């Protein structure tokens, strides 16, 4: 597995949470497959079933944002559940 391609997918996965408040795991997986197909297939291959399984597992994996805060995607999704929470998040990260 190419770590650079996985990092691109991880960043896209976090971006989905920032662009879609109150994202559930299933919606997150579907959004990644539909809106970030290049990142998904480059990192996980072209087998959609395998990609879905891997993305479902990834939901529990950790992501470190630009401020150095590390949480699982599930935890980030809970934290970024509203537009107001996302606005506050953007105010809190260093530019």
Could you report the average pLDDT of every consecutive run of 10 residues in the chain (95 residues)?
93 97 97 98 96 98 95 98 95 84
Q: Please state, in angstroms and as integers, the Cα–Cα distance from residue 10 to each residue in 36, 50, 54, 63, 72, following that order.
A: 11, 17, 12, 7, 11
Instruction: Output the pTM of the full model.
Output: 0.94
Measured from the Cβ of residue 40, the count of other Cβ atoms closer than 10 Å reads 25
pLDDT of amino acid 94: 79
Alpha-helical segments (H) within 1-95? 3-19, 25-35, 37-44, 48-58, 73-79, 83-92
pLDDT of amino acid 1: 65
**Domain spans of the chain?**
3-92
CA distance linking residue 21 with residue 86, whole number of Å: 8
CA distance linking residue 76 with residue 69, whole number of Å: 10
pLDDT of amino acid 78: 97
CA distance linking residue 21 with residue 66, whole number of Å: 19
CB 60 within 8 A of CB 77: no
């Amino acid at each position: 597995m190419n770590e650079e391609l996985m990092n691109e997918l991880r960043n896209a996965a976090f971006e989905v949470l920032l662009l879609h408040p109150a994202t559930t795991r299933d919606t997150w997986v579907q959004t990644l497959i539909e809106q970030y197909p290049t990142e998904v297939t480059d990192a996980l291959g072209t087998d959609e079933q395998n990609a879905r399984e891997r993305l479902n597992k990834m939901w529990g994996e950790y992501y470190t944002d630009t401020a150095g805060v590390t949480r699982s995607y599930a935890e980030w999704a809970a934290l970024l559940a509203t537009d107001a929470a996302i606005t506050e998040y953007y105010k809190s990260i260093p530019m």
